[in-house]
């Protein structure tokens, strides 16, 4: 177990329509340099339910905490896919849609004036995953830079136009069935020069979701033109929601406390350790030994780990042979872990 204080998350990046996973290339090296594993998902763009199910399969295959960032329609997909996933610590919407249940991506794109993307689209028939055919939408290459990536160098925009991935039109009309931003902390990067999602719409959705919002002067292709801003907001979300890892002596405390290995348990404490158990204080290793041997064995279920004014606070439910078992909400406050020893512990109901 790490003793650095926090657990690094996996960063999952979800592109939207008319883009591909390479649109995140400007941010991936910096995210990796910060210690995160990065997965840039190939969004199928075949229908909201299909796309969300695919993304959820990716999330289910990742061990540990996850931050999900979605660009444009990728935000719609992650809003469904991340709902109810206990491992997702944060959602980052990048020039993105934050629909409410029952709303569609297309509905929100047209909610306020200013969008020019729709007039630049062309459609061709394409097979659907469930059978039949649908309209596959892409941006006419000669209009791509104007409506999608106006602040991207011309040569780069031409490559993006040629490699864009189309989206089945129905995906933009499918209503949202879940809104993960209602229960997961969210961030929103608003692109002020966006011609795909009107600025007023981006602001409306971010405010409605209670997202921590940053605005930048950028086109819809902000992941390419401003990877610095994209990286910064993702790292802020990761830092803010990173689970606190248990330092070794704390982890061992909860492993050994239910056992009869008194020697190993006492070895976790400094000779001058102080344990405050409710209203009684036990000072020095001999007093801690007496406290330990006189305690009723209990089992622990850790329910929360947090930092509070310099203390590492572990909240747990304890179960054992005592009146009132199980007892929830007991706080273990570790104040000093110098030299990987417990110097001061407060236990409070």
The pLDDT tens digits of the residues spanning 126-146 come to 999 999 999 999 999 999 999
Q: What is the mean pLDDT of residues 212-224?
A: 98
Number of H helices, E strands in the chain: 13, 15
The pLDDT tens digits of the residues spanning 326-336 come to 899 999 999 99
Give the whole-angstrom CA distance, residue 148 versus residue 225. 11
- Of 175 and 302, the structure prediction assigns the larger pLDDT to 175
Give the whole-angstrom CA distance, residue 275 versus residue 282. 5
- Structure confidence at residue 4 (pLDDT): 38
The answer to whether 142 touches 149, Cβ cutoff 8 Å, is: no
The answer to whether 117 touches 140, Cβ cutoff 8 Å, is: no
pLDDT over threshold 50, residue 2? no
Give the whole-angstrom CA distance, residue 186 versus residue 202. 14
The pLDDT tens digits of the residues spanning 36-58 come to 999 999 999 999 999 999 999 99
- Structure confidence at residue 306 (pLDDT): 84
Q: What is the mean pLDDT of residues 172-189?
A: 97
SS3 308: strand
The enclosing H or E element of 307 equals strand 298-308
Q: What is the CATH number of domain 10-241?
A: 3.40.50.1820
> DSSP letters of 44-91?
--S-HHHHHHHHHHHHHT--S-EEEEEEEHHHHHHHHHTTT-TTEEEE
pLDDT over threshold 60, residue 103? yes
The answer to whether 205 touches 109, Cβ cutoff 8 Å, is: no
Phi-psi region of 290 (alpha: psi -120 to 50; beta: other; left: phi over 0): alpha
Q: What is the mean pLDDT of residues 8-15?
A: 95
* C-alpha 144, offset from chain centre: 31
- Structure confidence at residue 63 (pLDDT): 93
Buried/exposed code over 80-113 (b: 16+ C-beta within 10 A; e: otherwise): bbbbebeebbbbbbbbbbbbbeebbbbbbbeeee
Give the whole-angstrom CA distance, residue 20 versus residue 248. 42
Q: What is the mean pLDDT of residues 106-110?
A: 94
Q: What is the mean pLDDT of residues 335-348?
A: 93
Q: Which residues pair with 276 in a beta bridge?
A: 281, 346
- pTM for the structure as a whole: 0.77
SS3 113: coil
- Structure confidence at residue 6 (pLDDT): 56
Average pLDDT over the chain reads 94
Q: What ranges do the domains of the chain cover?
A: 10-241, 248-348
Same fold for the pair 10-241 and 248-348: no
Q: What percent of the chain has pLDDT over 70?
A: 98
* 237 CB-side CA count, 13 A: 34
- Structure confidence at residue 1 (pLDDT): 27
107 backbone dihedrals φ, ψ, rounded to 5°: -60, -45
- Which CATH architecture group holds 248-348? Roll (3.10)
Q: What is the mean pLDDT of residues 77-87?
A: 97
- Structure confidence at residue 245 (pLDDT): 78
The pLDDT tens digits of the residues spanning 225-275 come to 999 999 999 999 999 888 877 889 999 999 999 888 999 999 999 999 999
In this prediction, residue 3 has a pLDDT band, given cuts at 50, 70 and 90, of very low
150 backbone dihedrals φ, ψ, rounded to 5°: -65, -25
In this prediction, residue 294 has a pLDDT band, given cuts at 50, 70 and 90, of confident
- Of 279 and 186, the structure prediction assigns the larger pLDDT to 186
């Amino acid at each position: 177990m790490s003793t650095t204080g926090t657990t690094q998350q996996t960063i999952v990046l979800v592109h939207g329509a008319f883009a591909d996973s390479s649109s995140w290339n400007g941010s991936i090296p910096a995210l990796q340099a910060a210690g995160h594993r990065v997965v840039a998902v190939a969004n199928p763009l075949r229908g909201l339910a299909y796309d969300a199910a695919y993304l959820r399969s990716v999330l289910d295959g990742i061990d540990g905490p996850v931050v999900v960032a979605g660009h444009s329609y990728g935000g719609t997909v992650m809003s469904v896919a991340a709902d109810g996933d206990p491992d997702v610590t944060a959602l980052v919407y990048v020039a993105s849609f934050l629909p409410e249940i029952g709303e569609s991506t297309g509905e929100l794109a047209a909610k306020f004036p200013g969008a020019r993307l729709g007039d630049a689209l062309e459609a061709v028939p394409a097979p659907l995953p469930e059978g039949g055919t649908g309209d596959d939408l892409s941006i006419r290459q000669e209009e791509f830079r104007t409506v999608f990536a106006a602040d991207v160098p011309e040569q780069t925009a031409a490559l993006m136009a040629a490699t864009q991935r189309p989206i089945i039109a129905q995906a933009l009309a499918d209503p949202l069935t879940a809104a993960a931003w209602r229960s997961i902390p969210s961030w929103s990067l608003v692109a002020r020069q966006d011609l795909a999602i009107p600025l007023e719409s981006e602001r409306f959705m971010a405010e409605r979701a209670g997202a921590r919002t940053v605005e930048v002067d950028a086109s819809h292709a902000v992941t390419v033109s401003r990877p610095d801003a994209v990286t910064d907001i993702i790292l802020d979300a990761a830092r803010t929601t990173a689970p606190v890892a248990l330092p070794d002596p704390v982890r061992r405390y909860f492993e050994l406390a239910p056992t009869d290995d008194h020697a190993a348990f006492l070895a976790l404490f400094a000779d001058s350790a102080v344990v405050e158990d409710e209203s009684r204080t036990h000072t020095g290793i001999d007093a801690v030994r007496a406290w330990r041997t006189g305690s009723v064995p209990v089992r622990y279920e850790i329910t929360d780990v947090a930092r509070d004014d310099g203390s590492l606070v572990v909240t747990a439910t304890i179960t054992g042979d005592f009146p009132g078992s199980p007892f929830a909400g007991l706080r273990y406050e570790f104040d000093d872990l110098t030299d990987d020893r417990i110097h001061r512990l407060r236990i409070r109901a």
